[in-house]
Amino acid sequence: MANPAKDIASFYTSERAKSLLASLDEYNIPRHVAIIMDGNGRWAKKRGKPRVFGHKAGAAMVREAIASTIELGIEYLTIYSFSTENWTRPEDEVKGIMSLFVEVLERELKSLQEKDVRVKVIGDKSALPAKTRAAFENCVDKTKENKGLTLVVAVNYGARTDLVNAVRSIATEVEVGSLRSEDITTDTIAQHLSTAKIPDPDVLIRTSGEMRISNFLLYEIAYSEIVVSDTLWPDFDRDEFLACVIAFQHRARRFGGV
């Protein structure tokens, strides 16, 4: 696994961070971190603001998470930005989120390029509003040659739908004779998911204290360590990210063995 940057102490400057750094194992950095970013609505409600206000605040923490992953030498960061179930939220909230995607993607593209971040999208983009879809596609295209952190954005994503699509694709290959049913393996399934060629997450972080997977990467997180933070996403700063990575490092990963 990659080693964190040498000037990490200049990035983590708070007293809490300095204390945390003392227990960081620089040679046990996760290769892939996935995050369920939860708590935007509750954060806004506490402040008497509409839920979209919380989503806007949460966008700033995505920037913090990206910076943290780069500083620590993490290769992949997957963020759950909008699920297939999120369409059932109030119409004004959904419209606000879709507009926010456009705003953030256009604003952050230059920074992503400077940081050598490659953006990938998983999920069904076809259901997104035209401007939102175009913003994602532009960001993916403009960053596709970058060699640094791979940022995977799950938008209109649902793991069950992804599995159904994978099964349909495999079934078609069996029907046309390009694949024998007895040759189907766990790798076959993985190669037909939208996350094909992306390593499984080493750690799944969920914010806001909730104990749910919420239809996220169900196949891929079979042996991921799950770290739950009580912090609401708009307050999930670089120090809390570091604390979650250290919590991961304290786990003994046996992958079903003794």
Judging by beta carbons within 10 Å of its beta carbon (0-12, 13-18, 19+), is residue 22 exposed, middle or buried? exposed
Q: Tell me the three state secondary structure of residue 62.
A: helix
CA dist., res. 106 & res. 109, Å (int): 6
Closest CA to 153 of 233, 203, 209, 79: 79
Token pair belonging to 96: 């606000």
5 Cβ contact list (under 8 Å, min separation 6): 11, 70, 71, 72, 73
Token pair belonging to 192: 């037909």
Given the residues 38, 200, 202, 237, the one annotated as active site:
38
Q: What is the layout of strands, in order, in the sheet containing 150-157?
A: 118-122, 150-157, 76-83, 32-36, 203-206, 225-228
Token pair belonging to 212: 């749910």
In the residue annotation, 38 being an active-site residue is answered as yes
CA dist., res. 133 & res. 98, Å (int): 9
In the residue annotation, 156 being an active-site residue is answered as no
Given the residues 86, 138, 165, 215, the one annotated as active site:
86
> For residues 101 and 132, is the Cβ–Cβ distance under 8 A?
yes
Place of tokens 């770290």: 227
Catalytic residue positions, numbered: 38, 86
